[in-house]
Amino acid sequence: MDASQIIFFLSAALILVSALFVVTARNLVHAALWLIATLFGVAVLYVLLEAGFLAVVQVVVYIGAIAILFIFAVMLTRRDLLSQSSQTNANWPVALGVSALSLAAIAFIARGFGFSLDRPLAPVPTDSLERLGQALVSPQQFVLPFEVASVLLVAALVGAVYVAMNKK
């Protein structure tokens, strides 16, 4: 086993364990911190796949923005609800069964389409990152959805602050 395989298995274990802790944590802040660990493991996988841009976007957007926004929203709005209500759902066995069936269906469909780990990698054009960067800032392509997402994140943060301040 070479170093990249060891890093892959370690990051896969980190992703699986921390994802399990995300859904089983009783404290929402702890669940958010485990979510950050899960997203960091995915960023490591992107680095192993030599997709540096996606790794940086994973860290900056998902860990740096969305997870931290989630932590702020939880800290500002759920403080009073944590002691009053139960954090667990009584239907978790049903959700576990549906999740297991979904995983089996995805595995069956993947095998039906000939999914294999032995396939060679497709060639990547050398200017693909440059074209992606131009598409993200081009007014004709993705600049509007990019800006709408940032405005929604700011609006969510302002709403969380307003809700938290309104109770006081």
23 found inside a domain: yes
What tokens were used for 35?
């979510």
Nearest to 24 by CA among 96, 98, 105, 104: 96
87 found inside a domain: no
Q: Is 163 helix (H, G, I), strand (E, B) or coil?
A: helix
pLDDT tens-digit series, residues 124-145: 677 777 787 777 777 788 778 8
Residue 70 half-sphere exposure, CB side, CA atoms within 13 Å?
16
100 found inside a domain: no
- Length of the chain equals 168
Tell me which of 22-31, 58-67, 75-84 is least confident: 75-84
21 found inside a domain: yes
How many distinct structural domains can be found in the chain? Answer: 1
pLDDT tens-digit series, residues 90-129: 788 898 899 999 999 988 888 777 666 676 767 767 777 7
pTM value is 0.60
76 found inside a domain: yes
End-to-end CA distance of the chain: 58
pLDDT reading at 85 higher than 90: no
Residue type, 61: V
101 found inside a domain: no
Which domain covers residue 17, as residue numbers?
A: 3-81+127-167
DSSP of 106-159, one letter per residue? Answer: HHHHHHHTT--TTSPPPP--TTHHHHHHHHHH-TTTTHHHHHHHHHHHHHHHHH
What CATH number has the domain bearing residue 59? 1.20.120.1200
Q: What mean pLDDT comes out for the span 29-51?
A: 89
pLDDT reading at 86 higher than 70: no
pLDDT tens-digit series, residues 7-35: 999 999 999 999 999 888 877 778 888 98
116 found inside a domain: no
